[in-house]
Structure 1
Amino acid sequence: MEHKHKLVAAESSQARGTCPNYIIDRLSNLPDEVAHQMLSFLNFKELIRVGSVSKRCRELFLSTPSLVICSPDSGNKQKHLNLLDSFDRFLLHRGDSKIQRLSVSWCISSGLANKIFRMITWIHIAARCNVEVLDFALNGKHIPGTLELPACIFLCGSLRSLLVHMDTILKAPSFTCSSNLQCLTLKSVTMDEGFCKWISSSCKCIKKLQLSYVSIENITIESSSLESFSLVGSSLRGVHLCHLNISCEKLVDIHIEFYKFDSSSKSMNIFAPNLKYLTWIGSILNYHNLGKLTCLEKAEIFLKRKKDDYDFEKIFEALFREGSMQLQFYDISYLSLHAGGVFDDLVPAMVSLLRGMPNLKTLHINSYPRFFGSKSCKFNRKYWKSQNLDFVHRLEEVKIELSNGYNGVEFARYILDHAQNLKKMVIHYPPQQSYVERRLSKSKMISTTSIDYQKRDLHKLKNWSESGTYYRYMIRGKSA
């Protein structure tokens, strides 16, 4: 006879008019691994409810290897204390059972600052229980100005991923030790330069490093194992970075997003011979010092411009002049350009960019309705022809999202007149440009391609974010 665990919930069942004998505890019949996987999606308060269902559920509750505890939504001090007490009792009852993941997210309110030491105790327990993933996030106005994580977490041989998110000064370990960390994420902390030295000297297995709004003037990372590096910051939030130096032979992915960065007094030096992905958002960080980059195959470029912020024509001319990055983009065959539209003030910059990609085969130009008021009627087909863009003869696929004006249409006509290998062209146009099909039909098409016209529903399009003016420069490599 099949064994079934039954819930003892007489009062609630009677209230619903249901016989308790027909209520089956399906969770109790699952293997531990499957049950624990399901429980990993619950926070601690939800786990408490599961643990009260049955004896079997309590066993699963006490042995679950994934623990997520968050401060209550209510600002009630007593509720915060009750949850802290419950978690302390839980850790006491579970003993030294393995903790695979511990995630702490807590808002430190007035009168609870002295409770942080209890959370530091949780880190000690997690290290003793061979934790593999530790996420430690504190927020609020009552966090101590300086916080040093316990030494045991840096000595924990099982730890593979560490996230620290809090507005405080984070001190580096005061000792030399070897760490098995593979992923390190630091957010909103103030770092001393000793932390970078510790990462370079002690984290021999690190593969992913993420720094988000981290206050530090100089970042120098040297690693033989690092594969992914991310840096996000803004001087508007008090983050003042002076120099960034990266030397990582296995690095394949770099994401840099920095706003209001004064490039005249800053520098960035990168040595990454195997780089395949480069995302660059924000101001230009001394593009002369990019170091050695691999040849790349795909590029995606985002421009959100404001006349006084960046001179894109000069930027691209500098990027592609001899001795800079010209040879680096020689193998690019795919380009997706997000520029709001083919506007008068951006066309020279686009030309400089396209001139540096002679082997381009696929070109996508995207536009956004919030920019449709910009001027785009200065550059005709004769202008495009005079630029002698070598890539046009190799083009096989083109998609252009038109905004207002004639620049985009004239560029499309130029392509149709000269792209003998063109196999596919897609034209998206706004409702007010009903003349597009008639105008393009007059082209002296050199290929046999057909054109797919698609009228754009502007009400369904999403605008770009209104926050900030930025320049985003993204390159994807051969494995993309």
Structure 2
Amino acid sequence: MLMNHLKLGKFSRLETALLCLRPEENDLDKVYEILCSVSKVRVLKLDKATVKAPFSKGSMPAPIYDIHSLSMDIRRFTDDLVPAMASLFRGLPNLHILCIQSKSPRDDPQSDTSGCDMEYWKLQNLAFINQLVVVSIELCNGSNGIDLARYILECAPNLLHMFIIYPTLVSEMVTRKLKESKIVSGAKVVYHENKGSSSGIFQKLILS
């Protein structure tokens, strides 16, 4: 449970922030207050619970409007989480670097991860799509993450590098949807099939 009165103020000179919160239902306003305090941090890292808490119903605009680099560990691209991600993205017009990590569960891997297609992302009118330069995205089973990756490939005109990590179970869908996408930029796209642990894969791809 978060404190009743935070009064954090503004961290105007903060370079990097990592938020891994476990809010209860009555703590949602406090999560929003914390995000307001780091609204101008250059590099922000969020876990799934922090992303989902204030934005899951799409009723609260993202207060972190001046983020340069965003990293998210979301576990899965579930249908109830994607709208929260979209709500967050709508408030990030200056985002240049995006890193999304996920993990496919062994049990019921296809459950509720295929309800938000390419058209869904196009309807969000995300301003940050024109600013993206580098993207790393780790896909899980299901099509939600794949359609987000496809949206970025086909709609981000200034993209320079994109790293796509995918599990074996969706390799056919990756080939069909992503490798055949009409890339709007001249970005270098690296595909990596993850057959085991994903630890360190992002760092290795970025340094390659």
Decide whether aligned partners of structure 1 residues 432 and 331 sit closer, same or farther in structure 2, where only a CA change above 3 A counts. same
CA distance in 2, matches of 1:433, 1:453: 13
Decide whether aligned partners of structure 1 residues 312 and 295 sit closer, same or farther in structure 2, where only a CA change above 3 A counts. closer
Decide whether aligned partners of structure 1 residues 295 and 262 sit closer, same or farther in structure 2, where only a CA change above 3 A counts. closer
Work out which of the residue numbers 288, 295, 318 in structure 1 matches 2:60: 318
- 1:280 deviates by 4.8
CA distance in 1, matches of 2:112, 2:33: 35
Work out which of the residue numbers 423, 448, 453 in structure 1 matches 2:186: 448
Asked if 1 retains the 8 angstrom alpha-carbon contact of 2:113 and 2:143, the reply is yes
2:112 counterpart SS class: coil
CA distance in 1, matches of 2:37, 2:164: 37
Decide whether aligned partners of structure 1 residues 390 and 440 sit closer, same or farther in structure 2, where only a CA change above 3 A counts. same
Decide whether aligned partners of structure 1 residues 286 and 428 sit closer, same or farther in structure 2, where only a CA change above 3 A counts. same
- 1:418 deviates by 1.0
Q: Given the two structures, how large is their TM-score scaled by the length of structure 2?
A: 0.78
Work out which of the residue numbers 256, 260, 281 in structure 1 matches 2:21: 281
- The residue aligned with 1:346 is 81
Rg larger for? 1
Asked if 2 retains the 8 angstrom alpha-carbon contact of 1:267 and 1:289, the reply is no
Decide whether aligned partners of structure 1 residues 430 and 280 sit closer, same or farther in structure 2, where only a CA change above 3 A counts. closer
CA distance in 1, matches of 2:195, 2:148: 22
Q: 1:7-60 deviations in whole A, cap 9, x for unaligned? A: xxxxxxxxxxxxxxxxxxxxxxxxxxxxxxxxxxxxxxxxxxxxxxxxxxxxxx
Give the letter for the 2:80 counterpart: D
The equivalences for 1:122-137 within 5 A come to none
Asked if 1 retains the 8 angstrom alpha-carbon contact of 2:43 and 2:69, the reply is yes
1:336 counterpart SS class: strand
1:439 lines up with 2:177 in the alignment: yes
Asked if 1 retains the 8 angstrom alpha-carbon contact of 2:39 and 2:67, the reply is no
CA distance in 2, matches of 1:441, 1:273: 42
2:7 counterpart SS class: strand
Work out which of the residue numbers 131, 143, 149 in structure 2 matches 1:406: 143
Asked if 1 retains the 8 angstrom alpha-carbon contact of 2:94 and 2:131, the reply is yes
Decide whether aligned partners of structure 1 residues 351 and 440 sit closer, same or farther in structure 2, where only a CA change above 3 A counts. same
CA distance in 1, matches of 2:38, 2:97: 22
Consecutive unaligned residues in structure 1, runs of 5 or more: 1-260, 321-325, 463-480
Work out which of the residue numbers 380, 384, 404 in structure 1 matches 2:117: 380
Asked if 1 retains the 8 angstrom alpha-carbon contact of 2:67 and 2:95, the reply is yes
Asked if 2 retains the 8 angstrom alpha-carbon contact of 1:300 and 1:336, the reply is yes
State the Cα RMSD in Å.
Answer: 2.8
CA distance in 2, matches of 1:419, 1:294: 24
Asked if 2 retains the 8 angstrom alpha-carbon contact of 1:301 and 1:337, the reply is yes
> Identity, % of aligned pairs?
34
1:396 lines up with 2:141 in the alignment: no
Asked if 2 retains the 8 angstrom alpha-carbon contact of 1:431 and 1:455, the reply is yes
Count of residue pairs the alignment pairs up: 188
CA distance in 1, matches of 2:141, 2:18: 31
Work out which of the residue numbers 426, 429, 433 in structure 1 matches 2:166: 429
1:339 counterpart SS class: strand
Give the letter for the 2:158 counterpart: N
Asked if 2 retains the 8 angstrom alpha-carbon contact of 1:381 and 1:413, the reply is yes
2:71 counterpart SS class: strand
CA distance in 2, matches of 1:273, 1:430: 38
- The residue aligned with 2:42 is 297
- The residue aligned with 1:114 is none
Give the letter for the 1:330 counterpart: Y
- The residue aligned with 1:332 is 67
Structure having the higher strand fraction is 1
Q: 1:384-433 deviations in whole A, cap 9, x for unaligned? A: 00000000111111111110111111111111111111111111111111
CA distance in 1, matches of 2:38, 2:140: 35
CA distance in 2, matches of 1:431, 1:294: 38
- 1:334 deviates by 0.7
- The residue aligned with 2:203 is none
CA distance in 1, matches of 2:169, 2:38: 44
Decide whether aligned partners of structure 1 residues 300 and 448 sit closer, same or farther in structure 2, where only a CA change above 3 A counts. same
- The residue aligned with 1:418 is 155
Which fold has the larger relative contact order, with Cα–Cα distance below 8 Å and residues 6 or more apart in sequence?
2
- The residue aligned with 2:7 is 269
Q: 1:70-92 deviations in whole A, cap 9, x for unaligned? A: xxxxxxxxxxxxxxxxxxxxxxx
CA distance in 2, matches of 1:336, 1:262: 23
- 1:444 deviates by 2.0
The equivalences for 1:363-374 within 5 A come to 363-370=98-105, 373=109, 374=111
Give the letter for the 1:318 counterpart: M
CA distance in 2, matches of 1:333, 1:278: 14
Decide whether aligned partners of structure 1 residues 285 and 377 sit closer, same or farther in structure 2, where only a CA change above 3 A counts. closer
Asked if 2 retains the 8 angstrom alpha-carbon contact of 1:267 and 1:286, the reply is no
Asked if 2 retains the 8 angstrom alpha-carbon contact of 1:268 and 1:286, the reply is no
